[in-house]
């Protein structure tokens, strides 16, 4: 048997098909989930992919968080269901209060698309177990609202508990506090990040590297051996 | 205001009508009266005025464009040709690809962000309407002088418009161009290309047939934006004395368009559509008349059923509105329920606004009263045609006599070095990554190559690795010097760029940007350029599948450089074989393919060093281009070349600089014995490329070039961290990188 990983499509989601492909490339089975459908169809994990759900109206992720599927995702996440939020998915997770903090407009005010170097700070989460702590990876980054902010106490707490999962290296592309690119919840089952691992899973496509594949093999191993 | 019904029009033949304000000429208005046998109603006048505009009717260009059909090369790959929303090309394995390049020049000058954004929206809907999933976009852009204050208003707005709209649609932006020239100061060129993929059986056409079939309008509500966009904006010269035209620019909502794409693709999949048309320029006037004109029978529309954003809109305004993100479909009655259900799933508003009739008229009603009764062909396809006078401009000979080959040349290595740095840091030759990094090039997960590579390439089948490549090119300077040759050079460059990445060129689309057709000088440029392009396509075997003409690109009496932009589509059987531009492997041998002659007319060097434009453009030899293409494709397929870069603007030194910086490796170059170092570095002779050949393949590669008769000169080796031109100069890569990359951010960031 293999793991079944759900991929949510909201209206305005863009990277759902890419994420399904990445899950397939890793050897798991992608299961499309629809925003209006509360039923998670017995998936073993869920990815909230990137895009501009609901046109980013009001605030990125602000409306999606109230969609029927998110009720089940939020409840599942509290019970330990592995959830990964990429870019807009990360924004949905902060809006849902599954992860602390928020994303503001990039400090240079432009959309930025680049190959971004990251350091994996925590290799113990459900989504990073196939990496080693301190490992450097390069995956695409593409957003306009990517500047991670939180109050000092929250930031200190995240640092102290090892919940800063990824940090930007070389260049901080958007002014994120403490170079934070991704974080997890206390239990480590919920992870959110701005860069896009699903765009770096095949040697020929995109940046020509496969540094993002580890996210999906991590969850596969965890689920199959669990 | 009382409703101007057909009955009313019959009763009041002498009523005053605003035909001149709507852009119609006296004889055009007279012709409408003749067709109808009475004066048109207000709604009919609105429809004719937008559909007979230059932008929609191609009335000044048609007589020249027909060469693209008459001289079309035999090509089995063409599935749908000129005249539909976009042409369709067979790329093998059951796949069909549709692509088109279009202009949104005038709106983008007035309101750069929305103008450019809705340019993307429009071309994407054209591709969607053919039945295809859009898979990538590209943007050939031209602005005024890089350091002009207004460029700082227009360029960032255009780039943010393209970025915000395209990025929100989830379409990778994989290429295009950015060119600066003072001639575009008041008329920036914002061209947009979209490419889409489908299976052969999924092709859809814009026609309304089958009496009783329903006409469904779906997508965004209709508002008051963009009224008169095609007739007022795109078909006239800008004039400071007239009132602001900003309300004529449409406002886009990419979120709505994304829903429209997914909704439409699901509708296609369920086989619910008989004919389909997007709403772009001329809005409902265009969609209803074109669908009815291309189909069998007539059409009846209840205009008051259209969902409005603003309930105060008059029927004339509804017919002319260019509100974005709307489509019109012809659906059998039994399939309407399922159609509406899919629209509901995607939160897309859909309304049955009419039906196909067995008559021959397009009839439109407003709350039960008839306001339009016209033969649809007279609106959509049988508009006026002008064979406008043209003549070779009186200044053309003097321009060509002002020979760039006689300009002062650098004396010695030090001055050559300085001029190389000036060239690679000049706005036109500098890196454009500050711009292209604002576009998503990764989304959809199929991007194999994107800017600054020679062509953009996407995979279209994950199992077989079939892919397509597209490059767009144009050179207004060359075309000004000689429009016939300039158009062929644009074609040759795009063709070469596609071949350089290992793909086989199949077909082209073009966007012809020119000044006012009422100026015989401009009309001569247009006639020469179209003739050059048609002749060139015949030799290269690449038919024109469609495109767009943008005229009236001039401020006062001063026209832009004639700027035909050519997009070439190619196919590659296995994207693993693609050839990138980066010199990345030390020790690989650099070969210059083709002949280098003393050709500096219109060159980047003459512009950067002497601010000069004169003489003749480089000569074109399309048979040679074809041979070069075959060598580049064979070299890629058989693993003989690891990198390739075409030679164009800036000549050899520009190409070597770009490939070295891309790969992070230097090069040692030797000037061939028979060439002057300056000519070797800066000449822009066509039909050339530089390739990196692994040492193990050198013999085989040389044999191939020798056997086929393509000149191939070994000019150096990939090595070190400098570019060294032996006996001339050396420049560290770090210095070149700084020079190449700092210019654009310094001007615009």
Among B638, B567, B552, B497, smallest CA distance to B233 is for B552
CB neighbours of residue B239 within 10 Å: 8
CB neighbours of residue B583 within 10 Å: 28
Contact assessment for residue B59 and residue B386, using Cβ atoms and an 8 Å cutoff: yes
Contact assessment for residue A178 and residue A184, using Cβ atoms and an 8 Å cutoff: no
* DSSP three-state, residue A63: coil
Sheet strands side by side (includes B456-459): B447-449, B456-459, B467-473, B563-572, B504-513, B544-550
Q: How far apart are CA B154 and CA B178, in angstroms?
A: 13
Question: Which CA distances in Å does A101 have to A71, A120, A168, A173?
Answer: 20, 19, 17, 18
CB neighbours of residue B369 within 10 Å: 14
| pLDDT at residue B728, rounded to an integer | 97
Q: Note the pLDDT tens digit of each residue in B120-130.
A: 999 999 999 99
A-chain residues within 8 Å CB-CB of B442? 113, 140, 142, 196, 199, 206-207
Q: How far apart are CA B500 and CA B644, in angstroms?
A: 6
| pLDDT at residue B174, rounded to an integer | 97
Q: Is the pLDDT of residue A143 over 90?
A: yes
Alpha helical stretches, state H, B336-475: 336-345, 376-380, 396-401, 413-425, 433-436
Contacts of B541 (CB under 8 A, 6+ apart): B73, B74, B75, B626
A-chain residues within 8 Å CB-CB of B439? 111, 113
Among B138, B130, B135, B136, smallest CA distance to B79 is for B130
Q: Is the pLDDT of residue B1 over 70?
A: no
Token pair, residue B726, equals 């032996």
| pLDDT at residue B243, rounded to an integer | 47
A211 lies within 8 A of chain B by CB:
no
C-beta atoms of A112 and B446 within 8 A: no
Any idea which residue has 């191609």 for tokens? B58
| pLDDT at residue B749, rounded to an integer | 80
C-beta atoms of A11 and B258 within 8 A: yes
User: Which entry of A35, A95, A121, A196 is annotated as an active-site residue?
Assistant: A196
Contact assessment for residue B644 and residue B718, using Cβ atoms and an 8 Å cutoff: no
A-chain residues within 8 Å CB-CB of B437? 112-114
| pLDDT at residue B241, rounded to an integer | 47
Q: Is the pLDDT of residue B700 over 90?
A: yes
- SS percent in chain A: helix, strand, coil, step 5: 30, 25, 45
Rg from Cα positions in chain A: 16
Q: Note the pLDDT tens digit of each residue in B641-653.
A: 999 999 999 999 9
Query: CA torsion angle for B706, B710, B715, B720 (degrees, to 10)?
Result: -90
Q: Which residue of A has its CA nearest to B576?
A: A204
Q: How far apart are CA B235 and CA B245, in angstroms?
A: 13
Beta bridge partners of B102: B192
Among B259, B284, B265, B228, smallest CA distance to B134 is for B265
Q: What whole-number percentage of chain A has pLDDT above 90?
A: 89
Any idea which of A213-217, B259-263, B311-315, B577-581 has the lowest mean pLDDT?
Answer: B311-315
Q: Note the pLDDT tens digit of each residue in B469-485.
A: 999 999 999 999 999 99
Q: Is the pTM higher than 0.80?
A: yes
Mean pLDDT of chain B: 94
* DSSP three-state, residue B4: coil
A110 lies within 8 A of chain B by CB:
yes
Contact assessment for residue B380 and residue B290, using Cβ atoms and an 8 Å cutoff: yes
Alpha helical stretches, state H, B543-638: 604-610, 622-637
State mean pLDDT over B541-570: 95
Among B236, B231, B313, smallest CA distance to B50 is for B231
Q: What whole-number percentage of chain A has pLDDT above 70?
A: 99
Q: Note the pLDDT tens digit of each residue in B193-250.
A: 999 999 999 998 888 889 999 999 999 999 987 776 555 555 555 554 444 555 667 7
Q: How far apart are CA B195 and CA B176, in angstroms?
A: 13
Sheet strands side by side (includes B326-331): B275-278, B326-331, B214-219, B350-357, B298-302, B362-366, B369-374
C-beta atoms of A113 and B442 within 8 A: yes
Q: Is the pLDDT of residue B40 over 90?
A: yes
Q: How far apart are CA A114 and CA B442, in angstroms?
A: 9
Pairing of strands B350-357, B214-219: antiparallel
Residues of B with CB under 8 A from a CB of A: 160, 163-164, 167-170, 253-256, 258-259, 346-347, 436-448, 459, 462, 575-576, 578, 749
Q: Is the pLDDT of residue A16 over 80?
A: yes
Contact assessment for residue A152 and residue A100, using Cβ atoms and an 8 Å cutoff: no
| Active site (annotated) includes residue B113 | no
Q: Which residue of B has its CA nearest to A21?
A: B445
User: Which entry of B64, B104, B561, B740 is annotated as an active-site residue?
Assistant: B104
A58 lies within 8 A of chain B by CB:
no
Contact assessment for residue B592 and residue B692, using Cβ atoms and an 8 Å cutoff: no
| pLDDT at residue B565, rounded to an integer | 98
What is the residue extent of each domain of chain A? 4-225
Token pair, residue B103, equals 């202009």
Token pair, residue B610, equals 């002497």
C-beta atoms of A112 and B170 within 8 A: no
Token pair, residue A132, equals 């080693």
Confidence of residue B414 (pLDDT cuts 50, 70, 90): very high
State mean pLDDT over B55-68: 93
Among B362, B327, B259, smallest CA distance to B35 is for B362
Contact assessment for residue B188 and residue B109, using Cβ atoms and an 8 Å cutoff: yes
Any idea which residue has 């008989």 for tokens? B274
Q: Note the pLDDT tens digit of each residue in B349-375.
A: 999 999 999 999 999 999 999 999 999
* DSSP three-state, residue A182: strand
C-beta atoms of B439 and A113 within 8 A: yes
Among A167, A174, A176, smallest CA distance to A107 is for A174
State mean pLDDT over A181-196: 97
Q: How far apart are CA B127 and CA B197, in angstroms?
A: 9
* DSSP three-state, residue B97: strand
Q: How far apart are CA B707 and CA A184, in angstroms?
A: 62
| Active site (annotated) includes residue B740 | no
Token pair, residue A27, equals 């050897």
Token pair, residue A84, equals 């990964």
| pLDDT at residue A55, rounded to an integer | 87
User: Which entry of A87, A95, A121, A199 is annotated as an active-site residue?
Assistant: A87
Q: What is the DSSP letter of B232?
A: I
Q: How far apart are CA A27 and CA A3, in angstroms?
A: 8
A15 lies within 8 A of chain B by CB:
yes
A206 lies within 8 A of chain B by CB:
yes
Q: Note the pLDDT tens digit of each residue in B416-453.
A: 999 999 999 999 999 999 999 999 999 999 999 999 99
| pLDDT at residue B230, rounded to an integer | 59
Q: Compute φ and ψ for B587, nearest 5 degrees.
A: 95, -15
Q: How far apart are CA B536 and CA B205, in angstroms?
A: 29
Contact assessment for residue B582 and residue B106, using Cβ atoms and an 8 Å cutoff: no
Asked if omega into B452 is within 30° of 0 (cis), the reply is yes
CATH match for A4-225 among 3.40.50.880, 3.20.20.100, 3.40.50.1460, 1.10.1240.10: 3.40.50.880
Q: How far apart are CA B747 and CA B749, in angstroms?
A: 6
Give the minimum alpha-carbon distance from B706 to chain A in angstroms, rounded to a whole number. Answer: 32
Q: How far apart are CA B496 and CA B491, in angstroms?
A: 9
C-beta atoms of B447 and A196 within 8 A: no
Q: How far apart are CA A131 and CA A128, in angstroms?
A: 6
| pLDDT at residue B228, rounded to an integer | 64
Among A99, A54, A66, A103, smallest CA distance to A190 is for A99
A-chain residues within 8 Å CB-CB of B254? 52, 55
C-beta atoms of B440 and A111 within 8 A: yes
Token pair, residue B672, equals 């061939």
Contacts of B112 (CB under 8 A, 6+ apart): B153, B154, B155, B156, B157, B158, B161, B188
Token pair, residue B648, equals 């164009």
CB neighbours of residue B558 within 10 Å: 12
A-chain residues within 8 Å CB-CB of B346? 11
CB neighbours of residue B696 within 10 Å: 9
B-chain residues within 8 Å CB-CB of A17? 444-445
B-chain residues within 8 Å CB-CB of A202? 445
Q: Which residue of A has its CA nearest to B444?
A: A18
Among B732, B724, B714, smallest CA distance to B664 is for B732
Domains for chain B: give ranges and CATH numbers.
Answer: 1-70+205-385 (3.90.650.10), 579-749 (3.90.650.10)
Q: How far apart are CA A186 and CA A125, in angstroms?
A: 10
Q: How far apart are CA B304 and CA B218, in angstroms?
A: 15
Give the minimum alpha-carbon distance from B168 to chain A in angstroms, rounded to a whole number. Answer: 6
Q: Which of A9, A12, A62 to mutate to test the interface with B (most CBs of B within 10 A)?
A: A12
Sign of the alpha-carbon dihedral angle for B347, B353, B355, B356: negative
B-chain residues within 8 Å CB-CB of A206? 442, 445, 447
Confidence of residue B714 (pLDDT cuts 50, 70, 90): very high
Q: Which residue of A has its CA nearest to B162?
A: A111
């Amino acid at each position: 048997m293999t793991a079944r990983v759900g991929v949510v499509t909201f209206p305005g989601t863009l990277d759902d098909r890419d994420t399904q492909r990445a899950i397939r490339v890793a050897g798991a089975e992608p299961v499309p989930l629809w925003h209006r459908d509360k039923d998670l169809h017995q998936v073993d994990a869920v990815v909230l992919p990137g895009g501009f759900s609901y046109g980013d109206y009001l605030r990125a992720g602000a409306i999606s968080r109230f969609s029927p599927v998110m009720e089940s995702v939020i409840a599942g996440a509290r019970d330990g269901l592995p959830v990964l939020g990429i870019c807009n998915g990360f924004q949905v997770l902060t809006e849902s209060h599954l992860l602390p903090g928020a994303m503001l407009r990039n400090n240079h005010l432009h959309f930025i698309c680049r190959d971004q170097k990251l350091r994996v700070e925590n290799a113990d989460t459900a989504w990073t177990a196939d990496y080693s702590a301190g490992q450097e990876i390069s995956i695409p980054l593409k957003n306009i609202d990517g500047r991670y902010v939180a109050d000092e106490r929250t930031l200190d707490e995240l640092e102290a508990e090892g919940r800063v999962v990824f940090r930007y290296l070389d260049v901080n592309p958007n002014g994120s506090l403490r170079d934070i690119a991704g974080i997890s919840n206390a239990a480590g089952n919920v992870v959110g990040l701005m860069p896009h691992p699903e765009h770096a899973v095949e040697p020929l496509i995109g940046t020509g590297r496969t540094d993002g594949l580890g996210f999906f093999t991590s969850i596969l191993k965890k689920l199959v051996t669990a | 205001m009382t409703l101007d019904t057909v009955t009313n029009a019959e009763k009041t033949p002498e009523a005053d009508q605003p035909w001149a304000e709507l852009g119609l000429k006296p004889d055009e208005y007279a012709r409408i009266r003749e067709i109808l046998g009475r004066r048109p109603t207000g709604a009919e006048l609105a429809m004719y005025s937008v559909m007979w505009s230059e932008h929609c009717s191609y009335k000044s260009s048609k007589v020249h464009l027909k060469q693209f059909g008459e001289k079309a090369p035999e090509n089995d790959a063409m599935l749908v040709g000129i005249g539909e929303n976009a042409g369709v090309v067979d790329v093998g394995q059951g796949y069909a690809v549709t692509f088109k390049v279009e202009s949104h020049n005038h709106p983008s000058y007035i309101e750069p962000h929305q103008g450019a954004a809705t340019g993307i929206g429009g071309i994407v809907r054209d591709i969607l309407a053919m039945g295809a999933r859009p898979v990538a976009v590209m943007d050939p852009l031209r602005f005024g002088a890089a350091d002009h204050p207004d460029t700082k208003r227009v360029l960032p707005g255009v780039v943010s418009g393209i970025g915000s709209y395209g990025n929100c649609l989830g379409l990778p932006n994989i290429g295009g161009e950015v060119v600066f020239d003072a001639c575009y100061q008041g008329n920036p060129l914002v061209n947009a290309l979209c490419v889409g993929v489908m299976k052969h059986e999924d092709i859809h056409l814009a026609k309304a047939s089958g009496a009783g079939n329903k006409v469904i309008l779906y997508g965004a509500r209709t508002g008051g934006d963009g009224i008169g966009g095609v007739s007022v904006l795109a078909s006239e010269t800008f004039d400071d004395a007239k009132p602001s035209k900003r309300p004529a620019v449409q406002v886009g909502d990419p979120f709505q368009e994304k829903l429209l794409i997914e909704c439409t693709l699901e509708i296609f999949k369920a086989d619910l559509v008989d004919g389909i048309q997007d709403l772009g320029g001329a809005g409902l006037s265009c969609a209803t008349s074109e669908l009815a004109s291309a189909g069998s029978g007539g059409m009846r529309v209840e205009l008051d059923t259209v969902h409005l954003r603003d309930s105060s809109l008059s029927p004339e305004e509804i017919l002319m509105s260019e509100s974005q993100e709307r489509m019109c479909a012809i659906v059998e009655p039994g399939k309407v329920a399922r159609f509406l259900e899919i629209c509901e799933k995607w939160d897309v508003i859909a309304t049955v606004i009419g039906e196909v009739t067995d008559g021959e008229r397009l009839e439109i009603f407003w709350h039960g009263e008839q306001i339009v009764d016209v033969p649809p062909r007279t609106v959509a396809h049988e508009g006026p045609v002008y064979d406008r006078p043209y003549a070779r401009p009186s200044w053309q000979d003097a321009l060509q006599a002002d020979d760039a080959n006689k300009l002062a040349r650098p004396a010695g290595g030090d001055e050559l070095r300085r001029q190389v740095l000036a060239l690679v840091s000049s706005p036109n030759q500098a890196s454009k990554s500050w711009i292209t990094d604002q576009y998503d090039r990764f989304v959809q997960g199929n991007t194999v190559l994107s800017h600054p590579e020679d062509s953009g390439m996407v995979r279209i089948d994950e199992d077989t690795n079939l892919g397509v490549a597209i490059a767009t090119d144009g050179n207004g300077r060359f075309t000004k010097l000689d429009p016939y040759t300039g158009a062929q050079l644009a074609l040759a460059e795009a063709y070469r760029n596609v071949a350089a990445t290992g793909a086989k060129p199949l077909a082209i689309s073009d966007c012809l940007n020119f000044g006012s057709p009422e100026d015989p000088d401009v009309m001569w440029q247009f006639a020469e350029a179209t003739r050059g392009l048609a002749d060139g396509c015949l030799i290269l075997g690449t038919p024109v599948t469609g495109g767009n003409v943008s005229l009236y690109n001039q401020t006062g009496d001063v026209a832009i450089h004639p700027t035909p932009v050519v997009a070439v589509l190619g196919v590659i059987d296995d994207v693993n074989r693609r050839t990138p531009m980066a010199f990345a492997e030390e020790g690989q041998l650099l070969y210059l393919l083709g002949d280098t002659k003393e050709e500096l007319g219109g060159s980047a060097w003459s512009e950067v060093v002497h601010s000069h434009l004169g003489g003749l453009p480089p000569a074109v030899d399309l048979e040679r281009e074809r041979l070069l293409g075959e060598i580049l494709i064979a070299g890629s397929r058989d693993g003989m070349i690891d990198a390739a870069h075409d030679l164009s603007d800036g000549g050899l030194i520009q190409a070597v600089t770009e490939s070295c910086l891309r790969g992070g490796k230097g090069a040692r170059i030797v000037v061939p014995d028979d060439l002057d170092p300056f000519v070797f570095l800066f000449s822009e002779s066509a039909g050339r490329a530089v390739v990196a050949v692994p040492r193990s393949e050198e013999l085989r590669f040389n044999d191939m070039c020798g056997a086929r008769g393509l000149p191939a000169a070994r000019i150096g080796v990939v090595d070190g961290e400098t570019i060294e031109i032996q006996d001339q100069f050396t420049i560290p890569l770090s210095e070149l990188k700084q020079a190449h990359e700092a210019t654009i951010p310094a001007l615009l960031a």
